[in-house]
């Protein structure tokens, strides 16, 4: 009973912090779920993820021409405040459940060059409940960033559409502009439903954009997308097998600072804290002695909770998603745009994006919010009330992908403390994979870009030096190099001449 009161206290505290400091961010969303799972008695189903057959579901996979929608109607002529560009961009809705009136919003940017030959890349942000527009498109790897005035855009010369045609998806229902006419859907989200709806979205989107139907396809994402990406990939493989044909031409996955195995994710996080002098070794040793990190833990002792509370107080004044980054002390837009820098990420960017995407002219240009939602567009959803299922590990899915010849890359910004490189290394070690290429630095422009190790079975792990949780925000050039080598299927460069 005590643990339930402790959990309730932390949920209430998180709510008030959001009210004081502004829009809920990716940080709060992941901490909310992980705290609930770690402290026990959450009621969240943590069993292994299993795909369901969707390929023959005519009630969900739309097959009538009237249901497909028009690519040309989704074309974005120009975004307000946008600089001139030479690539095409699209935005709109794809229905994932006709009976419920559930539809997902997407934003798609074709490649800067060679759009007819470069692969299709889907980007998913995590949370759970956070928007791929808020982070991926507008603060990380999209073609534009938002000026501090919240009205104008500037070019991201390190956009990932230099390497692929990039599709950003807001999911599940209740995230960003994605919605359901059956509002009870917002109370029933979880890993399984998200994977199912994401798959249905993809099948229907490819009918609207048939030129990408047979294109090499990759799925990427960060943070809690460490669940979304593998679970969607597994669903694709499962339904390709059921259909006895290639419905979606999946070639690989790329996940960054990814939640993939609860037990090692937690232990690795505390070890990172101690290893970077954020907390004492005694505090971490106390956590390891008194806390149960196993997936079948149902409660935590009072001593464990107390030790964890002390650590949370020690790190509370840091941006734990980039332990060396400045904080935002001016959570408002400015009358005139500040001088923008791609290399020095502005910690107040969340507020600029919030202002921009809640502008009616922007929504009209993007073909968004067509149903006039009763809530604002938010970087992380405030209408999703609970998360029903969250598997304790996705490691078996990674093993499946390697067995099926898919490319698997996992990367870590090395200044992220929330899902740090230590967590990811501990998780990969659980797979017991033979090493193909030993740990070594990789280079970009004569400097160390990070470190990498390649495992037999086509799994590559790489760190990105000087990057936080949202790697392309903090090291955009190194992130672009990473994605180029991933889609090309080439190792990261191991000599300084790059």
* Residues assigned a catalytic role: 223, 416, 469
- Say if CB 28 and CB 128 are below 8 A apart: no
Question: Nearest to residue 225, comparing CAs of 419, 402, 413?
Answer: 419
CA torsion, points 440, 446, 449, 453, in degrees to nearest 10?
-20
Classify 388 in phi/psi space as left (phi over 0), alpha (psi -120 to 50) or beta. Answer: alpha
Distance CA 247, CA 299 (A): 43
- Beta strands 102-109 and 165-170 are antiparallel
Pairwise CA distance, residues 192 & 403, whole Å:
23
Separation of alpha carbons 75 and 92, rounded Å: 8
Q: How far apart are CA 455 and CA 461, in angstroms?
A: 8
41 close to 299: Cβ distance less than 8 angstroms: yes
Distance CA 341, CA 157 (A): 11
Kindly list the distances between the CA atom of residue 447 and the CA atoms of 158, 287, 444, 464, 477, in Å, as whole numbers in the listed order. 17, 37, 5, 12, 12
Cβ 428 vs Cβ 422: under 8 Å: no
Query: What phi, psi does 410 have (nearest 5°)?
Result: -130, 130
Instruction: Report how far residue 151's alpha carbon sits from residue 423's, in angstroms, rounded to the nearest whole number.
Output: 39
């Amino acid at each position: 009973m005590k643990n339930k009161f402790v959990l309730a206290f932390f949920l209430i505290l998180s709510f008030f912090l959001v009210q004081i400091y502004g829009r809920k961010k990716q940080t709060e969303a992941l901490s909310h779920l992980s705290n609930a799972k770690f402290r026990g008695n959450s009621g969240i189903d943590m069993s292994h993820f299993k795909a369901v057959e969707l390929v023959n579901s005519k009630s969900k996979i739309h097959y009538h021409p009237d249901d497909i929608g028009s690519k040309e109607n989704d074309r974005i002529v120009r975004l307000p405040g946008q600089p001139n560009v030479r690539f095409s961009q699209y935005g709109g809705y794809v229905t994932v459940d006709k009976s419920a009136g559930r539809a997902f919003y997407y934003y798609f940017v074709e490649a800067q060059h060679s759009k007819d030959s470069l692969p299709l890349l889907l980007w998913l942000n995590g949370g759970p409940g956070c928007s791929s527009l808020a982070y991926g498109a507008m603060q990380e790897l999209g073609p534009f960033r938002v000026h501090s005035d919240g009205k104008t855009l500037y070019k991201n010369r390190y956009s990932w559409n230099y390497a692929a045609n990039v599709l950003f998806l807001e999911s599940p229902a209740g995230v960003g502009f994605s919605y359901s006419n059956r509002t009870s859907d917002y109370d029933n989200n979880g890993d399984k439903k998200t994977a199912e709806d994401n798959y249905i979205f993809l099948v229907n989107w490819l009918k609207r954009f048939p030129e990408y139907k047979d294109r090499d396809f990759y799925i990427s994402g960060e943070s809690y997308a460490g669940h979304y990406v593998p679970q969607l990939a597994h669903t694709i493989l499962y339904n390709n097998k059921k259909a006895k044909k290639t419905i979606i031409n999946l070639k690989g996955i790329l996940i960054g600072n990814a939640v993939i195995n609860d037990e090692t994710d937690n232990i690795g996080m505390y070890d990172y804290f101690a290893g970077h002098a954020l907390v004492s070794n005694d505090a971490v040793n106390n956590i390891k002695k008194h806390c149960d990190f196993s997936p079948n833990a149902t409660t935590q002792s009072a001593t464990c909770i107390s030790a964890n509370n002390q650590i949370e107080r020690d790190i509370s004044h840091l941006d734990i998603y980039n332990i060396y980054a400045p904080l935002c002390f001016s959570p408002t837009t400015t009358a005139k745009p500040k001088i923008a820098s791609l290399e020095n990420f502005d910690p107040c960017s969340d507020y600029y994006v919030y202002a921009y995407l809640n502008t009616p002219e922007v929504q009209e240009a993007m073909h968004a919010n067509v149903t006039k939602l009763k809530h604002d567009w938010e970087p992380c959803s405030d209408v999703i009330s609970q998360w029903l299922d969250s598997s304790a590990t996705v490691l078996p899915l990674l093993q499946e992908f390697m067995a099926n010849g898919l490319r698997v890359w996992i990367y870590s910004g090395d200044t992220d403390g929330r899902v740090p490189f230590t967590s990811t290394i501990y998780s990969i070690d659980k797979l017991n994979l033979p090493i193909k290429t030993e740990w070594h630095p990789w280079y970009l422009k004569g400097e160390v870009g990070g470190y990498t190790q390649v495992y037999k079975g086509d799994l590559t792990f790489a760190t990105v030096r000087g990057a936080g949780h949202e790697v392309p925000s903090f090291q955009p050039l190194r992130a672009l190099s990473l994605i180029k080598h991933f889609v090309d299927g080439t190792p990261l460069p191991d000599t300084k001449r790059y």
